[in-house]
Amino acid sequence: MHAWPASEVPALPGQGRDLRIHDTATGGLVTLDPGPVARIYVCGITPYDATHLGHAATYNAFDLVQRVWLDTKRQVHYVQNVTDVDDPLLERAERDGVDWVALAEKETALFREDMTALRMLPPQHYIGAVEAIPGIVPLVERLREIGAAYELEGDIYFSVESDPHFGQVSNLDAAAMRLLSAERGGDPDRPGKKNPLDPMLWMAAREGEPSWDGGTLGRGRPGWHIECVAIALDHLGMGFDVQGGGSDLAFPHHEMGASHAQVLTGEFPMAKAYVHAGMVALHGEKMSKSKGNLVFVSKLRRDGVDPAAIRLALLSHHYRADWEWTDQVLQDAVARLARWRSAVSRPDGPPAGTLVEEIREALSNDLDAPAALAAVDRWAARQEQDGGTDTGAPGVVTRAVDALLGVAL
Ligand code: 5CA
Ligand code: ZN
């Protein structure tokens, strides 16, 4: 699949900083030390509805990760998937009487537009589940060969007990895992499984549902976790720097994916850090397509909201926090954008060297975007009150806010 166009990332004076970030697996901050090419996999959308503010907040977090790395003069190798065949997508298409392929294409196209408008850097490899099937089948066959997978009424399951490291991404107890498995696409109550948590790798063809040739697996379609593993291993290999997504992906998705990859390769860990963004809520509940309590990025854009203001609204919360979307959050962002634009529109201003360092410091410290915004606010307030004589300053601030925060002033 094609991704979306990249916005230019201006180079900044001085030295970027290494990223310290919270890793769910260890439960603490880790200082990442990627080589000259940093490698990141971020789980993509299941395209059965438009991009909402929760999605956008999560992609914003991982966009910041890349901007910090780019500022250290590293290259970034970024891979993202699109879950373009899965139960929720097929169910929505059925409900609305539309073709599931057309639905996925339409919502993926809208996602690209939203990401472009929000100045999110595109992945180098943007891969759909369907196009990944030829790479998924041999992995499932291999898992079966080595005894890590088994068949149940034609479906193929992964045996979580085959991975000695199973449980080390999310660190949950058995009861919590079972509960989340049932909530998030698993089938812990299906009789005949070796372990209730075992996830499906390959689902045998069902009447009226799409299916593909699975070689020795028979016709069917891939499970959710193996999809991301196949794409990540194909384009990044083991031991990549960051596996990213919202906190609802820590278990089972990232836990199972890590297990699949570790058993397949015999290497550990799949990712050096598992990074999870908090959940955005609306009216007190997590924004989710299944509940329908959504604010769409595309709707706000259609209503004439500047995408830079949407981005500032996302940045005004720490990525790990759960937070609530309200009209006030957006109004504050619109007002802040106006203040910043006015401040950089003057021919000169207070020196900006310290500000660039403050933004770098804030972001390198577990992506503390609110602290970065506060630093820009202070510069804008000084500009407003006293002005300054540094003719380069407004340009430096504009470039820093663009390069490090993805906001075009
Ligand atoms: N296709 C899979 C990942 S392989 C999937 O989870 N798709 S999704 O469309 O449901 O979610 C896409 C991303 O948005 C995931 O990282 C998910 O954790 C995140 N996300 C979903 N809802 C919210 C929310 N309310 N707040 C923050 N992030 C969210
Ligand atoms: Zn995924």
How confident is the model over 64-84, as pLDDT tens digits? 999 999 999 999 999 999 999
Q: Which ligand is nearest to the CA of 248?
A: 1
The model's confidence at residue 56, banded by pLDDT at 50, 70 and 90, is very high
Say how many Å lie between the CA of residue 217 and the centre of ligand 2: 22
Residue 288: per-residue pLDDT:
86
Averaged pLDDT for residues 373-387:
98
Torsion angle of the four alpha carbons 118, 241, 15, 314, in this order, in degrees rounded to the nearest 10: 30
Query: Does ligand 1 lie within 6 Å of residue 155's CB atom?
Result: no
Shortest-distance atom of ligand 1 to CA 247: 18
CA pair distance 254, 271, nearest whole angstrom: 10
CA of 340 to the centre of ligand 2 (A): 36
Closest ligand to 231 CA?
A: 2
Convert the pLDDT of each residue in 149-192 to its tens digit. 999 999 999 999 999 999 999 999 999 999 999 999 999 999 99
What's the whole-number average pLDDT of the chain?
97
Q: Is the pTM of this model over 0.95?
A: yes
Tell me if 231 CB under 6 Å of ligand 1: no
For residue 245, the CA-to-ligand 1 centroid distance in Å is: 7
Q: Which ligand is nearest to the CA of 49?
A: 1
95: tokens are 């409900």
Q: Could you report the per-residue pLDDT of 89-139, keeping only the tens digit for each?
A: 999 999 999 999 999 999 999 999 999 999 999 999 999 999 999 999 999
Domains of the chain in sequence order: 20-286 (3.40.50.620), 300-405 (1.20.120.640)
pLDDT in tens, 252-272: 999 999 999 999 999 999 999
* Residues 40-49, mean pLDDT to the nearest whole number: 97
CA angle in degrees (0–180, nearest 5) for 236-241-246: 100
Give 20's contacts (C-beta < 8 A, 6+ positions apart).
Answer: 29, 30, 31, 32, 364, 365, 366
Mutation test of ligand 1: which of 249, 274, 295 has the most ligand atoms closer than 8 Å to its C-beta?
249
Ligand 2 centroid–CA 54 distance in Å is 16
Cα 246 to averaged position of ligand 1 atoms, centre (Å) = 6
Going by CA atoms, what residue is nearest to atom 4 of ligand 1? 43
For the cut 90, the answer to whether the pLDDT of residue 289 exceeds it is no
Look at ligand 1, atom 28, and give the residue with the nearest C-alpha.
54
The confidence band for 287, taking pLDDT boundaries of 50, 70 and 90, is very high
Structure tokens at 309: 């203001």
Mean of pLDDT values over 311-328: 98
Residue 290 has pLDDT above 80, yes or no: no
- Residue range 29-54: mean pLDDT, rounded: 96
Strand-pairing partners, residue 22, are 29
Q: According to the model, what pLDDT value does residue 249 have? A: 98
**Structure tokens, 42:** 């971020």
Kindly state if the Cβ of 43 falls inside 6 Å of ligand 1: yes
Is any atom of ligand 1 closer than 6 Å to the C-beta of 288? Answer: yes
| Beta strands 37-42 and 240-246, pairing class | parallel
Name the band, by pLDDT with cuts 50, 70 and 90, for residue 292.
confident
The answer, yes or no, to whether the previous bond of 394 is cis (omega within 30 of 0) is no
User: Among 193, 45, 58, which Cα is nearest to 108's?
Assistant: 45
Over residues 189-239, the pLDDT tens digits come to: 999 999 999 999 999 999 999 999 999 999 999 999 999 999 999 999 999
